[in-house]
Structure 1
Amino acid sequence: MTVCIYSPSEKIWGGGQIYIDNLCGYLNRNGMEAVISTSEPDSFSSPTIRMPSVSSKRERLLKAPLLAKSLKTRGVEVIVLNDLSSLWLAPIFRFYGLKVVSLLHLYLQRKNKAGLGHGWLEFHMLRMASRFAHRVYSVNKDNQESFPVSVEFVGNFISPWFFSASGSDEKQYDVGLIARLSAQKNIPLFVKLLARLNDVSERPITGLIVGKGEEEALVRHEVERLGMQELIELRPWVDRQDLPSVYDQLRCFAITSHHEGFATTLLEAHARGIPAITTHSAGYCAEFVEGVDPVTGIAFDPLDVESETFVYDVIDLIENSGSYHEACRLKAEQFTEERVLGHIQAGIESLIGRRSTKAGE
């Protein structure tokens, strides 16, 4: 065994977990034996090793040395620490002789007005811990300005099957959002945007929210408060293989998050030919739709929802969404597994001083 990917998250399945599941599978298919260390092995399709629950920082701190010793006895050479929640353990794993790779999804920032981010002590602890990582990769470009060490932007990726999977030919919703219903995702902003669109549109503008989470009751309350019950449908999670069909029912995709890395859902929507609107605070998402040619959507600030100019721009995007189909797919095709995950594998190979033998070689 060469690589262990450390995943401390529990009761969460989102873009970060999908990312490392695919990374682990990619490494194994390309000659590098890898596993995911997790307390929820049944959540992943890749090889795993079970570890005790580490839901609290105290548990992570106390159990990290034991895990490091165990991995060394198994012959593991490299540990990949998934996101900011595990970066601060880098000094421990390095002390025990492991090569440390940090894979960041979220943006390291001081606590903002929405209450998201890190306090002073935690912020500087994470900056200090990054010095103990041999490589730091980030899905979010903003992290290149946040750390005292070199941070390599790798971005996100889309699997080839998502482009060709069978789907739906019928557009049922004008705007859709697929996300965990949490404070970070700022779903009430989506509801408010739909209400504003309907204030000025000549026809009803419909919305779809797919997801579950701790803020579901708040989201439903906002839908009712703004009188959007007949125009916004809420659905629970669907199986991943059914997602292409869900995207195909949308004219436009939306990300309203307070912060993101580089949302997997944005690439998935583009792979199905769907343009998007996204908050500027949603990491690389805003640059992806407006800064990577051609333009395939609109980036905005929450206050823009009050602007009639912005609202009419979104309606125009919805009504002309079909014209973006090919551009969206071509843009998504730039972010392949080989380009993104292959780059991470090459970095790991440089750390251990040998190249993996891929199948067929």
Structure 2
Amino acid sequence: MKGPHAPVRVDWLSRHMEPILDPGQPILDAHHHLWDRPDSRYRCEDFLADIAHGHNVLASIYVQCRTGYRPDGPKMLRPIGEVETIRRWACNAGTNAFPAKLIAHADLLLGSSAQAVIDALMEAGEGTICGIRNTTAYHPDPTLTSNPKPAPAGLLKADTFLQGAGVVARAGLVLDIWAYQTQLDDVFDLAAAHSDLTVVIDHMGGPLGAGAYRENRSAHFESWRAGIERLAQLPNTRIKIGGFGLMVMGKDYHLADTPPSSEQLAYDWQHHVDVCLNAFGAQRAMFESNFPVDKGMFSYPVLWNAFKRLASPLSADERAALFHGTAAATYGIDFSKFKINTSGRK
């Protein structure tokens, strides 16, 4: 599948390098992908190479992206192959921390029948499955897409999807949702209907900046802010801060002659990050790399330098929550077992 993302250009990324800030800060990368696609490859060894530049990344969480599905058998069980594939890749790379946990896919439109899929996922994961995510980001403008296979309209409101969300809750798993700002009311209704379900909002709830959203940016920002602040009123919601490299956000760093610095990224992202932190607080927010999707826009070391700049005014407890504490608590990860040394290498 060809993804609608900025292509990764290693030579272009190498045009800007900078020293690592606060190299001792422990990090749990709360959201990344792995894949082997016709147009790009990003396996465990590629992720390990990205984290080897000085940041103290001790563990990570893999998020489903249709990698390694079974080629045959019952369609609803084919996503089991993703769990099998990622665990095999991690084993071959000699790591049990990257990823430490997996957010898998079970089609929640199956309603109560999703239970059988979740049971199979958990059996295949042997304790590594911490959540479920479906492809849910949708916009009627076909140019505003962030998935090779975009979601259908109205999925988050479908009765069967809501039933499937209840299955996720009963399984003790987290539901990750990637939705654009135009869908945040639907996310609110879903989270409100399942108070026993932890709902994690990926990529800050999809603030849009591409297409028609390049005009009247302040109005679109305020609309996004209102949706985020409303969602934060529900105690069972959490938010991931990141995803700024998604094309739908309209940052266009990839069009410049040189990659952005962490100072530029922190400046550009400040207002969005402030909204998320003011609404959710650090104890309900977490940083994510969203690699390799965002790698077409900036490098891994520069990304985490930008996050460190943004978090620098906060207290030590707030920084700990953003960089690892919230993600560990949300997804049931014993982060202490990964704190082996200050370099973060196993």
Q: What range is the shorter-chain TM-score in? A: 0.3 to 0.5
- TM-score, normalised to structure 1, is 0.34
* Higher relative contact order structure (alpha carbons within 8 Å, sequence separation ≥ 6): 2
Larger radius of gyration: 1
